Structure 1
Amino acid sequence: MQFWPILGILQGYFKRPFIIALFCGNAKPHSLSEYLRDLVGELQGLCRGFVVKGKQFSLMVTSVICDAPARAFIKGIKSHTGYSGCDKCIQGGVYKKHRMTFPEVYSSRRTDASFYSMSDEEHHVATSPLKDTSVGMVSGFPHDYMHLVCLGVMRRLFDLWLASGPLRCRISSHQSKLISMVLIDLKDYIPTDFVRKPRPLSERLRWKATELRQFLLYTGPVVLRDVLSTPVYNNFMLLFVAIFILSSDIMCCLK
């Protein structure tokens, strides 16, 4: 059984997201038009404007947050595993080591205008109903860092350090146990702002995104110091600083 929630949050109001709609089925929706029909109709009406207590208001969607498979589905584009699957730049993928890669760094960017005109026919597999709303089909779909960084990069770093990485960056079982012991010792000092307490590295494959985020932004810089080699630790700290800045409302002006 799959649940596809549609959540809403008003920009400028610091409230928790609230459920607008919920789709339930044995698989993802078969018809994109049917799945989005009610949402598109309501967004079109809200964008045209509405009156509340004698004042005219309008509503525009600034961003749509979803993981890569869902993003490809509702945009009607190739999956991220396809040769034209990158939804941010125009380049053909390169299949390497059983993975689709996009090695170009300075490839031309996709724009909302190029998406609407379908200038890259290989990128599209269907026409998304969201094209008829105010949603930017490229600018309005930011990549989510929960999947890319927490469940992606951070989990990959653990694999490199503990299992599959080259010897120059791998740590011993003794070092792994040492890190786990410090993580467990930190349990009593983790405030209730965090929904989970630290767990040992032996359970890392069952760590949730919040645990990986906690390790990356809070406990990792402490427990890894003097355990990882200096180059590997500095590499981790570069990621820590970058994500710390990007996730900070004060330090990052990209709103």
Structure 2
Amino acid sequence: MTRKRTISKKNLRFRRYRKVNKLISQRRNEVLNEIQLEDDTQRVSQLNMFNMNEPKLNESIGSWVKSHGITTRAVNDLLRLMNKAGVAQLPKDYRTLMKTPKTMEIVEKAGGKYWYNGIERNLQLIFSKLNENISIKLNFNMDGLPVFKSSQCVFWPILSSIHKMPHIRPMIISIWCGMKKPNNLTEYLEPFVIELKRLMQNGIWVNGYHIAIAFRCCICDSPARAFIKGTVNFNHTNGCQKCKVTGSKSAEAKRMYYAEIGCSPRTDIEFRNREHSSHHKERSVLEELEIDMIKAFPTSDPLHLFELGIMKRLLKVWLFGDVGYGRKWLKIDIVQINTLLRDMNKDKPREIHRSIRCLDDFKFWKGTEFRSFLLYYGIAVLKNYLPEDVYRHFLILVCATTICYTDVYRVFLPLSKIWFSRYIENYADIYGIHSIGSNVHLLNHVCDDVEMFGNLNDISTYAFENRLNFLKLRLKQPNLPLEQISRRIVELSLDYDDFYSCSIKNVAFPQYKHSEIRDGTQIFKEIIINGDCTFSSKRIADSWILTYSLEIFQFKYVMSTGNAVHVYGTPVPRLENFFTYPLSSSLLNIFKSDGKSETNLMSFNLNEIKAKMLRLKSCDDFVFIPLLHTLKK
């Protein structure tokens, strides 16, 4: 008799549980296999994608290396890791990735090493997409550049910029490298002169279109200008490049001074004929070019003449005193001025990129800080901290310089010439005749340079100085500096956007930001007129507008309706002249007010804006000064 097996409920549940677990385990394995297959497929797909776009990936990595100045060793390590990981078949070496030339034409010349890049090669790269005949004027710059802090090694590059094309960075034509400046002027300049002479005669052809080339001017500081022209130095008895003034040596101050005003000017013919032999040291190969050896070399570079020259000298005298000037600031005065500068920096508009540091850091100030102090901050800060005669004397300098900084005030240029002469005459009375050094004397010739070349920004070395800084940043080790920098330049020049272009790409102006809906209408609390002028109600410092009707408004918002753009703001009442000597400040669009704008909202068209204003606190009032680069005619 067969016994019937009975299964308890407990065992039955256990068997069902095991069966379910088995099914779950099987399904889990199937899912994991599917996921693994998908991962493998996706990885293969990604690898195939990288392989298909290897040239583009190489280009992207190369652009990243150029933008951030990555060292050769770091790039080689990155390439090795990426190749080892199988990300893509990338080059194994930095030189292959960056297309570094195997050899560079570096020769021994003028007591050092010399690499010539060429004018035509740069122009071919810049105008590679040219589709019409054009004419260009070139500015040139030569200057010494210390390479390392712990070495006497120095670069003497030749740079060039294209006039009226500020969106193109200066070209690097050649670089000389040695332990001091070139010991043979002809060897240093000859390759440059030979090519420039040919280009001035024939121009160049790009894509079947002709580029006519002209020499505009050579912009250098005083020592470099004397060197390349083969003349005596700027502090020599006959050192002036523009006139025949004779300097005198002050035994007390131990410096050369130039007290005469209105001396007869030098001429190109007299220069070439050596009619004043005491002015010359050697004959410059630049004389082979068809240029005016006097007028083509402006002496009014604002960076070295006004900012690092006269303004720096004035602050140094006011801070520390000088022979013949015993009215230096007291310690309490310096503390109060520092407080004013700190407060003014809080209200600095975004167009003034560098804040002015305290007077305690005066010796570390950059050129742009001296520029801001001369053109904007000085008249408000110094009013209560200089004797009246010294302050009025400073106002003469500010007004004359402001006129020369913009074409808007060109009608006042004859006045500026008179004021510069008056400034030099009074300089002797205030600071002593021995203080009329080379920079102060060169104020006699500023207006002549402005008449010939345009405002001071058109003969500035700022763009060239920035390019020199670029050269230093590309050096990664002290060995073979010229070989390093020449290779980096060739690598970078293959990409126009990375090396030559400094413009904002594909940006249309005006731009509107920070939108709101008010009463059913869209408004914007910020408007960018162009890359150098922005109005915003988010920051008080960016909200001050000058209109052509000579009214000042505090910007609130902007509204765009159809083709018209309406700006809304509250007016600033009771505008008055901030000073009346040597002219009424309102003629230079400088006003004072209690700074409290009215509450009534007014509107005007966008094209009625004349300038953006800087508001500074001065005593119990506010002074409003136009930012010169935003000023429109």
Q: Does 1:191 align with 2:349?
A: yes
Q: Does 1:38 align with 2:191?
A: yes
Quickly say closer, same or farther: Cα 1:219–1:16, change in 2 above 3 A: farther
- Deviation, 1:123, is 1.1
The DSSP-based 3-state class of the residue aligned with 2:282 is: coil
Gaps of 5+ in 1: none
Between the two proteins, the alignment pairs up a number of residues equal to: 254
Identity value in percent:
35
- In 1, the alpha carbon distance for the partners of 2:264 and 2:188 equals 32
- In 1, the alpha carbon distance for the partners of 2:379 and 2:363 equals 20
- In 1, the alpha carbon distance for the partners of 2:305 and 2:155 equals 21
Q: Deviations over 1:78-125 (max 9, x none)?
A: 112222222111233211232222222122210111111111111111
The DSSP-based 3-state class of the residue aligned with 1:82 is: coil
Identify the range of structure 1 (147-156 vs 226-235) with the bigger mean alpha-carbon deviation: 226-235
- In 2, the alpha carbon distance for the partners of 1:230 and 1:92 equals 32
Identify the range of structure 1 (209-218 vs 84-93) with the bigger mean alpha-carbon deviation: 84-93
Q: Which residue of 2 aligns with 1:99?
A: 255
**1:1-255 aligned within 5 A:** 1-21=153-173, 22-50=175-203, 51-52=205-206, 56-97=210-251, 98-143=254-299, 144-165=301-322, 166-167=325-326, 169-252=327-410, 254=451, 255=454
- State the one-letter code of the partner of 2:221: D
The DSSP-based 3-state class of the residue aligned with 1:239 is: helix
Identify the range of structure 1 (45-54 vs 99-108) with the bigger mean alpha-carbon deviation: 45-54
Quickly say closer, same or farther: Cα 1:161–1:138, change in 2 above 3 A: same
* 8 A Cα contact 2:222 2:234, kept in partner: yes
- State the one-letter code of the partner of 1:221: I
* 8 A Cα contact 1:49 1:56, kept in partner: no
Q: Which residue of 1 aligns with 2:457?
A: none
- State the one-letter code of the partner of 1:100: M
- In 2, the alpha carbon distance for the partners of 1:114 and 1:52 equals 39
- In 2, the alpha carbon distance for the partners of 1:164 and 1:207 equals 19
Q: Which residue of 1 aligns with 2:118?
A: none
The DSSP-based 3-state class of the residue aligned with 2:159 is: strand
Structure with the larger RCO, 1 or 2 (CA within 8 Å, 6+ apart): 1
- In 2, the alpha carbon distance for the partners of 1:24 and 1:237 equals 44
The DSSP-based 3-state class of the residue aligned with 2:180 is: coil
* 8 A Cα contact 1:9 1:15, kept in partner: no
- In 2, the alpha carbon distance for the partners of 1:116 and 1:74 equals 14
- In 1, the alpha carbon distance for the partners of 2:277 and 2:344 equals 53
* 8 A Cα contact 2:162 2:170, kept in partner: no
Gaps of 5+ in 2: 1-152, 411-449, 455-633
- State the one-letter code of the partner of 2:156: W
- In 2, the alpha carbon distance for the partners of 1:215 and 1:209 equals 10
* 8 A Cα contact 1:162 1:171, kept in partner: yes
Q: Aligned-pair RMSD on alpha carbons?
A: 2.0
- In 2, the alpha carbon distance for the partners of 1:27 and 1:216 equals 34
Q: Deviations over 1:104-158 (max 9, x none)?
A: 2122210111111111111111110110113321101111232222122112211
The DSSP-based 3-state class of the residue aligned with 2:409 is: coil
The DSSP-based 3-state class of the residue aligned with 1:59 is: strand
The structure whose Rg is larger is 2
Structure-2-length-normalised TM-score: 0.38
The DSSP-based 3-state class of the residue aligned with 1:176 is: helix
* 8 A Cα contact 1:60 1:134, kept in partner: no
* 8 A Cα contact 1:9 1:16, kept in partner: yes
